Structure 1
Amino acid sequence: MSSTTHRGVVAALMSQPHTPGEIVRIARLAADWTQADLGRRCGYSASQISRWETGTCPLRDVDTLHCLARALLLPVEVFGLTLDHSCGVSTRPAGSPAPRVSGDPMPVWEEHDPMRRRTVLAGLGALAGSAALGSAPPPGSAAAADPVSTLEQALLAPPLRTGTPVALARLQRAVATARTVFAHGHYADVAARLPALIASAAATSAAPSPGEDSAAAHTQLAELYSLATELGIKTGRDQLAWTAADRGLHAADASGDLLTRASTRRVWAIVLRRGGHAGTAQQLIIDTAYALQPDLRSPEQLSVFGSLMETAAYTAAADGDRDTARAFLAEAVDAATRLGADGNHRYTHFGPTGVSLYQLSTARVLGDAGTAIEHARRINPASIPFAERRARYWVDVARAFDQWGKPEHCYRALLAAEKVSADEVRYRKPTAAMTTTLLQHPQAHQLPGLRDFARRTGTPA
């Protein structure tokens, strides 16, 4: 297509209203490309391009629109986006603070909602003060001293048989409470609760109350094992993660629930990948997702399927397979678009924001630090509803800046992560490695408070 024709196409698109899918189709045909041609240029399948063009799949994701605009040589304004000269597309939410430093490659967003913080703290206070099943042990006890090691020792022994059966409703509330504490980034507290909770859930599934279903208790037991697995992954305790994931699979099978089985298999796939079995992990995810695909209608189904696609994308990225990672991310974007909003169905934290976080992390894993920071700029951390995810965002940002060789920005991101969740920087091995690197950097003396930060996070200074 000549430059004159291209300008004419752009002018026509700007002068008349079109849906995003219509814009893609008009520009693609003007370039004399097939749907497969365009798909190859932006990392999507021809069928996905077709779904967007025909409107059967809404085209709303900002990153996708940005990618299509680049491939089709279109100004982003044709899609109703505004140009941001620092990162290409401005997606900063209305009312959010502007970057404080002109030209800063990653502005540090601040949280300006003290009422939100008070509400979160009040909720945690209520949880901590309750006498609910699985409450944290008192300070000074052995479990409180090193709760993650205590949990690991409990699970590495034969399955816990010392619990007392409880009513299913009480067990469900206790599991939800443990999940909430984890979502707030309090990993030590969760670790302290889990041994008693798992023992009680195992006893309840073996001997449910009259009139109650053991399968439902097995669902809760599988959820607790999945939580223990996530905690093991988070804290770098691979034996804990492996043992908990294996037991979670057995509990999920006993539950007879398709979504429970899918969720536990996703967690098991993460453990397999970390253990060097990326191919097996990826096949497990694909098989599990295929079993869900015929019936993706409810928010729970879409969320579990979308989280499988996110994990598949990350697994492919960790294996260096850029094209496959993009393809799975496109499926996750599609599921999030169909879901329509962020949610926490089946404790997946899945939605448009969650997919954006995975776009950041997969770019980082692929070694594309600049692209990772581009993705990070498009996310307002204050919009991430859970502290665990917010802190993980900042750790990913820090790791991208570490790759990029920007120690000051790496340190700022680590401080932001600590502000959100002290446990996130205290227990995760990547933060200790980055802190050690910062301490050894020639500019370490220009990072105020670095040695204090190292001391707080248990990194030898």
Structure 2
Amino acid sequence: MDDALLSELLAAKLRDAMLGLDGAVSVPSAEALDADFARARADFDACRYAGLAVRLPRLIRAGHALTANGDGADHCSRLAQTYLVATRMLVKLDEQQLGWMAADRARQLAEASGDALAVAECARQLSVLARKAGWHDQALSIALSAADDPQLRGSGRAGAAERGLLIQSAAYTVARRGDRDGMRSLTDEAAAIAKELGGATLLRDHGGGFSPLTVQLHRISAENYAGDPMAALDAARSISLKALPSVERRSRCLSDVAAALDRLGRRQECVRTLLAAEHHAPEETHTRPVVKMLISSLLVSGPTSTELRGLAQRSGVLS
């Protein structure tokens, strides 16, 4: 399938699964579901979105069939985790209505299963969606309230790492408001948590985990959103792509760098960086609306090249 059509396919399949429009459901064993979910999470981390278009709807249908039968907290927890992956994917695709639906279902299921880490991650995703809707005060409140929750503070190393991610989300929000000092203060707070943890902390509901390196990755887009693309590039210089924990994180790094270069008018470097992102994660580069908008703006804002036109065609921006 043409990568440029993947976003529509994935969103449509998730929509129909969440609405229960797929008819009879065959429910595999718990072991098979766990294996299928592990593959879905690996697909997300590797930016294999064609695989997600098959696995996530299947997991949602099966999860609802099991929870409807009252089959226990384990199934609620798995379904909550499935909805969290779906939410992160829908946020990437800028499908906000479906994203809200998925995030709210994830929250209800996480609360029902008593999973404090999943509840906190749901709050982070709701904060992201609120920020995208322009509800900055609410986004900030959601993230910081979740970071201060006593249950999360009592969840050990993983809880501290999740607090760091929530504080990073708050920093993005104040960056969107143009508050550079506030963004840097919150990012420094997240960096202090990462330093105290003393290395990378893997998180079940966030494939990138949390570490000083991921905080630095966050600084790139945060500085750019706060209006300082040169500071964004300075943050990027200290990051080795190979050291980042997943293809998805490498692609995010490159697309954020490309956005900063575009703001500085460095067109050729911007295009080269987008081509590098495409090399690492073609499906991500061809489907994310924010990347496609950047490619589209490059086409109309100055001289084009064979490489740029080819990228635009592969992304469905240019027919």
Match of 1:390 in 2: 250
**What secondary structure, in the 3-state scheme, does the structure 1 residue paired with 2:13 have?**
helix
Out of 279, 282, 295, the position equivalent to 1:435 is: 295
**What secondary structure, in the 3-state scheme, does the structure 2 residue paired with 1:236 have?**
coil
Q: Aligned pair in 2 of structure 1 residues 174, 303: CA closer, same or farther (>3 Å)?
A: farther
Match of 1:320 in 2: 178
Structure 2: gaps of 5 or more residues:
none
Cα deviation for residue 376 of structure 1 reads 0.7
Contact 2:46 2:248 in 1 (8 A): yes
Match of 1:35 in 2: none
Q: Distance in 1 between the 2:52 and 2:183 partners?
A: 32
Match of 1:196 in 2: 58
Q: Aligned pair in 2 of structure 1 residues 294, 173: CA closer, same or farther (>3 Å)?
A: closer
Q: What are the superposed Cα offsets for residues 440-460 of structure 1, whole Å, 9 maximum, x if unpaired?
A: 24332xx34221111111112
Q: Aligned pair in 2 of structure 1 residues 194, 319: CA closer, same or farther (>3 Å)?
A: same
Q: What are the superposed Cα offsets for residues 268-298 of structure 1, whole Å, 9 maximum, x if unpaired?
A: 1111111121211111111111114873563
Cα deviation for residue 155 of structure 1 reads 4.7
Q: Aligned pair in 2 of structure 1 residues 425, 188: CA closer, same or farther (>3 Å)?
A: same
Cα deviation for residue 208 of structure 1 reads 5.8
Contact 1:316 1:324 in 2 (8 A): yes
Q: Aligned pair in 2 of structure 1 residues 333, 293: CA closer, same or farther (>3 Å)?
A: farther
Structure 1: gaps of 5 or more residues:
1-138
Q: Aligned pair in 2 of structure 1 residues 153, 331: CA closer, same or farther (>3 Å)?
A: same
Paired residue type of 1:277: W
Match of 1:457 in 2: 315
Q: Indicate yes or no: 2:267 matched with 1:407.
A: yes
Q: What are the superposed Cα offsets for residues 352-373 of structure 1, whole Å, 9 maximum, x if unpaired?
A: 1111111111001111010000
Match of 1:374 in 2: 234
Paired residue type of 2:55: R
Contact 2:18 2:61 in 1 (8 A): no
Cα deviation for residue 424 of structure 1 reads 1.6
Q: How does 1:237-248 map to 2 (within 5 A)?
A: 237-248=95-106
Paired residue type of 2:132: R
Q: How does 1:285-296 map to 2 (within 5 A)?
A: 285-292=143-150, 295=153
Q: What are the superposed Cα offsets for residues 7-53 of structure 1, whole Å, 9 maximum, x if unpaired?
A: xxxxxxxxxxxxxxxxxxxxxxxxxxxxxxxxxxxxxxxxxxxxxxx
**What secondary structure, in the 3-state scheme, does the structure 1 residue paired with 2:227 have?**
coil
Q: Indicate yes or no: 2:13 matched with 1:151.
A: yes
TM-score, normalization: structure 2?
0.91
Cα deviation for residue 221 of structure 1 reads 0.7
Match of 1:49 in 2: none
Contact 2:223 2:229 in 1 (8 A): yes
Contact 1:417 1:425 in 2 (8 A): yes
Highest Rg: 1 or 2? Answer: 1
Contact 1:205 1:218 in 2 (8 A): yes
Paired residue type of 2:280: V
Q: Distance in 2 between the 1:199 and 1:283 partners?
A: 33
Q: Indicate yes or no: 2:275 matched with 1:424.
A: no
Q: What are the superposed Cα offsets for residues 399-424 of structure 1, whole Å, 9 maximum, x if unpaired?
A: 00111111001101100100010112
Q: Distance in 2 between the 1:317 and 1:369 partners?
A: 12
Q: Distance in 1 between the 2:15 and 2:67 partners?
A: 22
- Runs of at least 4 residues of structure 1 off by over 6 A? none
% of aligned pairs identical?
31
**Structure number with higher helix proportion:** 2
Select the structure with the greater relative contact order (CA < 8 A; seq sep ≥ 6). 2
Q: Distance in 2 between the 1:294 and 1:247 partners?
A: 20
Cα deviation for residue 182 of structure 1 reads 0.5
Contact 1:363 1:369 in 2 (8 A): yes
Contact 1:160 1:198 in 2 (8 A): no
Q: Indicate yes or no: 2:217 matched with 1:357.
A: yes
Contact 1:161 1:202 in 2 (8 A): no
Paired residue type of 2:53: A
Out of 180, 185, 195, the position equivalent to 2:47 is: 185
Q: Indicate yes or no: 2:63 matched with 1:205.
A: no
Match of 1:253 in 2: 111
Cα deviation for residue 434 of structure 1 reads 1.7
